[in-house]
Structure 1
Amino acid sequence: MHLDETAPYWQPFVKAEQVSQWVVGLDHQLKQATDYQDVPWSLEQGQLQTCSTPNSFWLIYEVESAGKLAIRTCFDPQTIRSVKLNKKTSTTLDFQVEGALGLFRVKLELASQQPVVLRYTTSLTPNQDFSLEALPRDVYVLDKDYDPSTTEGMVYVTQNGPTAGLAFWSVTKPVEGTIFYFQNLTALNPYCQLTHTDPSGSVNAQWPEVGFSLPASEQPLSAGTEVVLSDAFIYLSKTIPTSEFEAADQFLEAIDSIYRHLPKPATDYFDWPKLANQTIKALSESPDCSRHIKNHFYVNAYVSATQKPPESMVQLAILVPLTEYQDWLGRAIPLVDQLQKSIPTFYDETRATLMRWLPGEPFRKEETSEEEDHNKIDSWYLLHTLMNLGRLAQNGNVEAKDLLFRSIDFAIGAAHHFNYNWPVFYDSLSLEVLKAETAEGRGGELDVAGLYTHVMLQVYELTREPRYLAEAKKSAERLRGKGFELLYQSNITLMSALTLAKLWKLTGNRLYFDLSKLGVANVIARLWIWDCNFGFGQHRSTFLGVAPLRDAEYVAAYEEAEIFATIHNYLIELNDDVPPSVRLLFSEYMKYLLHRGRYYFPSQLPLEMVSQQPREGRILTDLPIPLEDISTGWKQAGTVGQEVYGGALAYILTTYSYKNFDDVPVIFYAEYPICQADYQLVTKDSGYAVYRLGGTAENKCRIRLLAKGRQLPQLQMRDEDNQTGEPLSPIHQDKNYQQYEVPGNLRLRVDWTKPA
């Protein structure tokens, strides 16, 4: 396997060096096992066997008589007394394993034969109350003689904090192959609730040991109560990636294959337009959300947080999607004009750029953080602000276009100074780097090169000047070689992926499409593909959430709203070129955010699970402004603060998920992206509309037809491509709405007739 040597963040080969105590002597134990039994499943790539050692029950996958994958399905530190096959089908084997701790049940399943996906689920009924301490991981890479020390491979990405319990790696010696490991953390909720533990960071790699280590318990397991200890999937492939782009493609294929087998929570409808109106009213009128300085109106970053100057990024984060919502609504929103008038006050003539902090307004704090300095520029903040100016300019806002072009040369000068490798902080006058890296050895804000590409492409589209396109191309090149370390901030990485897709279509250079998919894979690798239902998590949902930063241990309202809008635009921009795995996961992400986004709002949560001592400002539980942060189950929500600019969440979800035509008497709502919509009037009182859904046919989403007036007109909805023409039947309805459940990737026709 040969990799691009110019790729500094591409993870190096790994081999057995500093092994844990669970590896030492493992080869001897497995060699001494005498109860090897063939698993009667025909696999193209290898042979499966089971065996037991004094303290473990194993599934052994042997490949070409050259290497082995040893999977520890259950572990009892004292002894395994007996193993009994209880039940057998063509694709499942159920074992009863008696140990000193109690009775284990191990279910082995061939979840898919092409591609090969194995699943093993282990539960335990303890004989007595006890606490679990240090436990081993469950997967080991071995050679044909069960020796781990001779093996080598490449680890691409593993779980980071509360993200999905995944590990993705290749074996390069003694035999080539790629493995994708996935621990279904949702199944561990009862264990976490009983033991007061958290599965964050529980899946990792210390070669040759990979996979899941059950968190040590703080509270004991109870005698006689069965609890799931592991629910793992393994995807097996004979091929190994030869570049970061092939690694991204293979990762997306693997996670798609496993996602289809996961149990998923149900969704229900939430009234986002109603909350959007309430949020805009609060943003406009609440003295805790805004302030006036020198006759200009500014929104705060957090509720009641006025010790810092207003921030340009915050104003634009509210304003830009609000202008889109204003178009959706069909009438003027006074807040739009108020915010637009405040944006020019952030321009600094000396530096010739828009600034983060309002010039001339002091920090009213005894101690300031590293970012609270008028002279400092955080790389992503400036470019995010320019990107939003570009969005306004592309929609015809002349003043925003002027501010963008007055600031663009500063951004270009900084890009050249840093050679398109953006640090965390730099001085706004000298461009001196004040903080180079996010952490030692991890580089600066790696995905910001993509955000700069985004801005340059916007300016090119506004001017058609070749120098801006050249800048976009040069910056895009800097995204190469980062592998699964590309993501610094998830919304920025995804916006970069969108602009790279546009750059590919504009230039025909396939590199940009491959880089786009790499960015997408980075974001999907950080999804929380599990639902945290322990502790405070019993009152909320986190399924398919995504953290704002690479190392953040919470999901955040504004970043998720921006990701939602970017995903929608990505799916429309690429259309049929979207890989099926991305189409599935992006559509599912949108569906689940529409369901769980409500839990960002404190009024939707029990009072005891909302922090009353946030880091920023204060929490007003009756104010329709979202909390910034939701963590895993043992932490309260809102520990960062109540995020005023996160108020964009409600009207972003409304704008993108509710299709509203002036001449159509119903509003069409879909959990999956509405990729295309048009309508035709037949008479003044009748007509039809056609809506094309994203998603895939294997998964379903909810549709609602909502009355604009006091009641619905006469309606029929059908699958436009179904030749039978049979109307679909609603699953719920009243005089104001009809609700349906349909597969993704449909064209739906809605015929209406107004009552006489």
Structure 2
Amino acid sequence: MKPYSPWLLNTNAMLNEAGKKPLYETTANGYRFGVYDLADSCWLVANWPGGSRIAFRLAYSPNDQLDININEKQNGLVIQISSMIGKYEVTVELPNETCPVLRYTTTLTTAAPLLFPFWPRDIVPLGTSSNDLLAEGEILVKQVGTRSGQLYIKLTRPKAGSFLYLQNLTALADYNEATETSAAETVGGEWPEVGFALPPTVKNKPLEAGKSYVLSDAIVAFSEEVAAEEVAMTKQYLDLLAAVYLAMPKPATNYKHWPDILQKGLTDLIDSPGCWSQVDGNHYFNAYVCDYATPPEIMVQLAVLLPLLDYVEWNDAQLMVMKKIKDGLPAFYDEKLKTIVRWHPKLADKLKGEEEQKEPMTMDSWYLHHPLLNLSRLALKGDEAAKKLFLDSLDFSIKVAHHFNYQWPVFYKLDTLEVLKAETQPGKGGEKDVPGLYAHVMLQAWELTGEKRYLAEAEKSAQKLIGLGFELFYQANNTAFSAGAILRLYKVNKKEIYKDLSYLCLANIFRNVRLWDCNYGYGKNFPSFFTLFPLNDAPYSAVYEEQEVFCALHDYLRHAEDVDLHPSVRLLVAEYIRYLVDRASYYYPTMLPKEMLQDKPKIGEVDPNLWIALEDLQDGWEKSGQVGQEVYGAGNAFGILPRHYMQAQDAGLMIYTDYPSYGFSAKVKQRVHFRLAGDGRLNCHLMIVKTGPAKLPEVVVTLKGNKEPLSGKKVANGNLEYEVPGNAELIIHWNHGK
């Protein structure tokens, strides 16, 4: 028999007592809800139409007798509870047609200084009222590290449905600050012991007496569907997440002037000696500032070059640094193996093996394909040298794919293909999203050459993603590239499975984000809402992966412009991009107080005055920049500026939106018409940005179909700001004569 905790067994028994009456009962949106008093705890029980029940704990005071007072309010309840540890106030917002989710927020005003050495989890799966057996279910997604405080669960006995539970961990900042605890790993558990538990106060830092603290702010979306197949689970997760997202409080975003940020970053990238090394007369970017011990890597060179290319195409600029990078690329081609290699061959023998991958012939599986992807982008723009490197390496890439049957390990030897590390962890498999990255490379080869064998390779590889579920994600940028590649496959052959597989990739992205703001400790110094983590177990966010995901999602929306895209996908992709544009400037150490920066990083040096991004932003109690200052994350600003600013230089203005848009034009004259991405239930910012000394001309902004122009608000530096709905068509024109 499976063991259970006393808290779970006792709660289940008491809520299943014959004749147990609720203090309050109502029906909302087809679900029945009851409030129950269990002496030392107060519970809200949700009843599915199919009969199963889930209990959510609203308040708890061990070995106590609560005094509960319930008052109705519009669409919900306010519950006042007296206890020995203080006074609770619980607000309950019940689901309705407009907002089909449950939300309950519990605030405690403490009666004395309090320590919490232990707190039981707050969800009990009760099963049906006619049976005291606990419901059986499966946890499909739960919190990892400081990612979203989420649980996505399907109930398998009785087959009542599914639900997504999310703790708004932003609201717990006062608790975390007072107790010096982290919100990491607070939502999860093993079935049936699931839910949220307050982090224990192991440092003996108490809550103050007489002060109010939020102890829980939970939002729950319900479904009567028990998704059995991968496609159904993917869409259900995205839909439930979008429903919760619409209902949760979200921080405001603030305009950052990216043209200035870009210029500072460009100057430091070019002029700072710590960013460069020389080999055989060629110049190469270091991976990290002042990292002279590691040989140059081809991925690093191309990861900076491609965003620079985005910028010069947008600005009609000429950057000599681009030629400097390109001149050094042919040195990475190995004539014997007939492929590009990771490390510069002339310095590969400097590698000392202090990390698993730092051996001359050790290949990290994704590292072979990522440079090929960037070379293909250059080739498609007419760069003949890049085209030759790309095409000359393709047969080797295909040979590797066939050798591993399109299922790549973590590390292998480039010359012998011997597997050096098969799995990320025992039983977890290798780099599971690499089949999608390889498919992307093959699609680029097909587009470049027209040879159908490359299209066939892309399809064979994409098929290996089927069945991976929420374990597909290995590295964020590779998963995002996979989403776009597979959507392209769908557009080529109209097989619905590929569109659905692209959703699976995106669902894996969104389960690895942080839908809360870490407003405790050092986290108070930078926004972190909707942060994406680079690996499925990484403890920090990383600039390089985030900026590449940002660009990949823009590309995904571009390919999806004429696709009937799932609505929750449109909503979540646009919102991630909006918050990235707001957050990304805080990767630069110049934006952060020096006391939160790591003095001695793992690699190279951290210069707090240098506009080169830190690799890592950590949990609020950890210093950031622990890995180093990441030169190959320099694409940050160069990715954002060309995708979010339209230039009208002769009018002294630029048009900026923090949502991506369709019909975007780098340069505009007098009038522009474009459509925003996203969902009309959420708003984004539109800015008319002044670029010269003169005042802005008269600008008229209208939504298509509306005669009345929108009213803009004058903000700093003479700019105009508008709040506009997602998925809106905008028409903007101005008078050059004023």
TM-score normalized by the length of structure 2: 0.96
Query: Are residues 738 and 31 of structure 1, via their aligned partners in 2, closer, same or farther at CA, if it must alter by over 3 Å?
Result: closer
Query: Are residues 132 and 337 of structure 1, via their aligned partners in 2, closer, same or farther at CA, if it must alter by over 3 Å?
Result: same
Shift of 1:66: 3.9
Name the stretch that deviates more: 482-491 or 116-125. Answer: 116-125
Q: Counterparts in 2 of 1:76-155, with a 5 A limit?
A: 76-85=61-70, 87-113=71-97, 116-145=100-129, 149-155=133-139
Shift of 1:596: 1.4
Query: Are residues 247 and 114 of structure 1, via their aligned partners in 2, closer, same or farther at CA, if it must alter by over 3 Å?
Result: farther
Q: Which residue of 2 aligns with 1:357?
A: 343
Offset from partner CA, 1:296-347 (integer Å, 9 cap, x none): 0100110101101011100000001111111111121111111111111111
Determine helix, strand or coil for the equivalent of 2:182: coil
Please, which of 660, 685, 689 is the counterpart of residue 702 of structure 1?
685
Please, which of 26, 33, 38 is the counterpart of residue 48 of structure 1?
33
Determine helix, strand or coil for the equivalent of 1:660: strand
Q: Which residue of 2 aligns with 1:746?
A: 728
Please, which of 360, 365, 375 is the counterpart of residue 389 of structure 1?
375
Please, which of 700, 707, 711 is the counterpart of residue 694 of structure 2?
711
Note if contact 2:285-2:631 (Cα within 8 Å) is conserved in structure 1. Answer: yes
Please, which of 242, 245, 252 is the counterpart of residue 238 of structure 2?
252
Shift of 1:442: 0.5
Query: Are residues 588 and 44 of structure 1, via their aligned partners in 2, closer, same or farther at CA, if it must alter by over 3 Å?
Result: closer
Offset from partner CA, 1:250-273 (integer Å, 9 cap, x none): 011111111111111112111111
Alignment partners' CA distance in 1, 2:331 and 2:348: 15
Please, which of 636, 639, 650 is the counterpart of residue 623 of structure 2?
636
CA-atom RMSD, angstroms?
2.0
Shift of 1:175: 3.4
Alignment partners' CA distance in 1, 2:351 and 2:444: 38
Alignment partners' CA distance in 1, 2:88 and 2:408: 52
Alignment partners' CA distance in 2, 1:714 and 1:417: 62
Alignment partners' CA distance in 2, 1:41 and 1:24: 26
Q: Which residue of 2 aligns with 1:74?
A: 59
Write the letter of the residue equivalent to 1:182: L
Note if contact 1:41-1:91 (Cα within 8 Å) is conserved in structure 2. Answer: no
Alignment partners' CA distance in 1, 2:667 and 2:611: 37
Determine helix, strand or coil for the equivalent of 2:163: strand
Shift of 1:540: 0.7
Unaligned runs of 5+ in 2: none
Name the stretch that deviates more: 370-379 or 115-124. Answer: 115-124
Please, which of 25, 47, 57 is the counterpart of residue 62 of structure 1?
47
Shift of 1:144: 2.6
Alignment partners' CA distance in 1, 2:29 and 2:565: 30
Q: Which residue of 1 aligns with 2:179?
A: 195
Determine helix, strand or coil for the equivalent of 2:222: strand
Q: Counterparts in 2 of 1:162-311, with a 5 A limit?
A: 162-217=146-201, 218=203, 219-311=205-297
Query: Are residues 53 and 604 of structure 1, via their aligned partners in 2, closer, same or farther at CA, if it must alter by over 3 Å?
Result: same
Alignment partners' CA distance in 1, 2:677 and 2:91: 35
Q: Counterparts in 2 of 1:439-588, with a 5 A limit?
A: 439-575=425-561, 576-588=563-575
Shift of 1:720: 4.3
Unaligned runs of 5+ in 1: 1-15
Please, which of 698, 708, 729 is the counterpart of residue 711 of structure 2?
729
Name the stretch that deviates more: 333-342 or 151-160. Answer: 151-160
Shift of 1:662: 6.5
Write the letter of the residue equivalent to 2:485: T
Alignment partners' CA distance in 2, 1:362 and 1:574: 42
Note if contact 2:351-2:360 (Cα within 8 Å) is conserved in structure 1. Answer: no
Offset from partner CA, 1:584-633 (integer Å, 9 cap, x none): 22212121111111111111111101111111101001111011111111
Determine helix, strand or coil for the equivalent of 1:591: helix
Determine helix, strand or coil for the equivalent of 2:634: helix
Query: Are residues 411 and 427 of structure 1, via their aligned partners in 2, closer, same or farther at CA, if it must alter by over 3 Å?
Result: same
Shift of 1:32: 4.5
Please, which of 591, 606, 622 is the counterpart of residue 619 of structure 1?
606
Q: Which residue of 2 aligns with 1:344?
A: 330
Offset from partner CA, 1:639-677 (integer Å, 9 cap, x none): 111111111101111111112366665321111112213
Offset from partner CA, 1:691-718 (integer Å, 9 cap, x none): 3221222222222222343324523222
Please, which of 656, 668, 674 is the counterpart of residue 655 of structure 2?
668
Note if contact 1:421-1:449 (Cα within 8 Å) is conserved in structure 2. Answer: yes
Alignment partners' CA distance in 2, 1:658 and 1:276: 13
Write the letter of the residue equivalent to 1:728: L
Note if contact 1:716-1:727 (Cα within 8 Å) is conserved in structure 2. Answer: no
Determine helix, strand or coil for the equivalent of 1:407: helix
Shift of 1:160: 1.1
Name the stretch that deviates more: 742-751 or 399-408. Answer: 742-751
Query: Are residues 408 and 267 of structure 1, via their aligned partners in 2, closer, same or farther at CA, if it must alter by over 3 Å?
Result: same
Offset from partner CA, 1:437-468 (integer Å, 9 cap, x none): 00111100000010000001110111111111
Note if contact 2:41-2:66 (Cα within 8 Å) is conserved in structure 1. Answer: no
Write the letter of the residue equivalent to 1:20: S
Q: Which residue of 2 aligns with 1:690?
A: 673
Note if contact 2:22-2:37 (Cα within 8 Å) is conserved in structure 1. Answer: no
The alignment status of 1:607 with 2:591, answered yes or no, reads no
Alignment partners' CA distance in 2, 1:742 and 1:237: 31
Alignment partners' CA distance in 2, 1:68 and 1:213: 20
Shift of 1:19: 2.9
Q: Report the identity percentage.
A: 38
Determine helix, strand or coil for the equivalent of 1:68: strand
Alignment partners' CA distance in 2, 1:519 and 1:118: 28
Query: Are residues 339 and 79 of structure 1, via their aligned partners in 2, closer, same or farther at CA, if it must alter by over 3 Å?
Result: same
What count of residue pairs does the alignment treat as equivalent?
A: 735
Note if contact 1:115-1:237 (Cα within 8 Å) is conserved in structure 2. Answer: no
Alignment partners' CA distance in 1, 2:132 and 2:589: 51
TM-score normalized by the length of structure 1: 0.94
